[in-house]
Chains A and B, each alone.
Chain A
């Protein structure tokens, strides 16, 4: 059974940093691209970032480019999102999602339950 478990969310002040993690199990992690998708309270879905199976291809939404860094550790079956210079508008539930293939350009077939990030002073 595929499982994606996010962690690392919490309350953080504007301008500070936070690192999210996603622990994956139930599939061969290093065969698939992984993504972060967020959902602000009461709002729709927004793709944040994605990374290919071997970290060779990485993409970011314009809204986070230059502030967020995605990475993965295939030996630990884990995905990460380093979030710097956080803003109030980054407040959201952050989901980890598994891509259907190894490259970025696939749909997301499994999602975690999300970790909440709140940016506020």
Chain B
């Protein structure tokens, strides 16, 4: 059961900017850094953003992350067709019965 809430879907036309929200609590986003993973259709997840706003080598700078309080967001600027994928936020949770928690996932569609 996910404890991080994301919108189920988002969409945009090529070149547009799309933003995905991720809502958590004081025990996860509020006290730990947020990571984002991209899962292209039929493939394994891939690390997209770590430590709230850092991009691994090879990830285009069209992708950016931010965090404020118990929420985080992922922005995709200059949307491209190859960005059509599922996106998951994630964070460590300091509560008694939880460790690493993923968001509910957002399907991004390029119109």
Contacts and interface: CB of A to CB of B under 8 A. Distances in A.
Size bracket, chain A contacts:
20 to 34
Given A100-B50, A107-B35, A107-B50, A113 B44 contact: yes
Contacts of A105: 32, 92
Contacts of B90: 45, 107
A47 B100 contact: yes
Contacts of B35: 107-108
Contact of A45 (B46, B97, B98, B102): B102
Contact of A112 (B33, B44, B92, B97): B44
28 contacts: A35-B100, A44-B2, A44-B86, A44-B88, A44-B102, A44-B103, A44-B105, A45-B90, A45-B102, A45-B105, A47-B99, A47-B100, A47-B102, A50-B100, A60-B99, A95-B44, A95-B45, A104-B92, A104-B100, A107-B33, A107-B47, A107-B50, A108-B35, A108-B45, A109-B47, A109-B56, A111-B44, A111-B45
Interface of A: 35, 37, 44-47, 50, 59-62, 95, 100, 104-105, 107-114
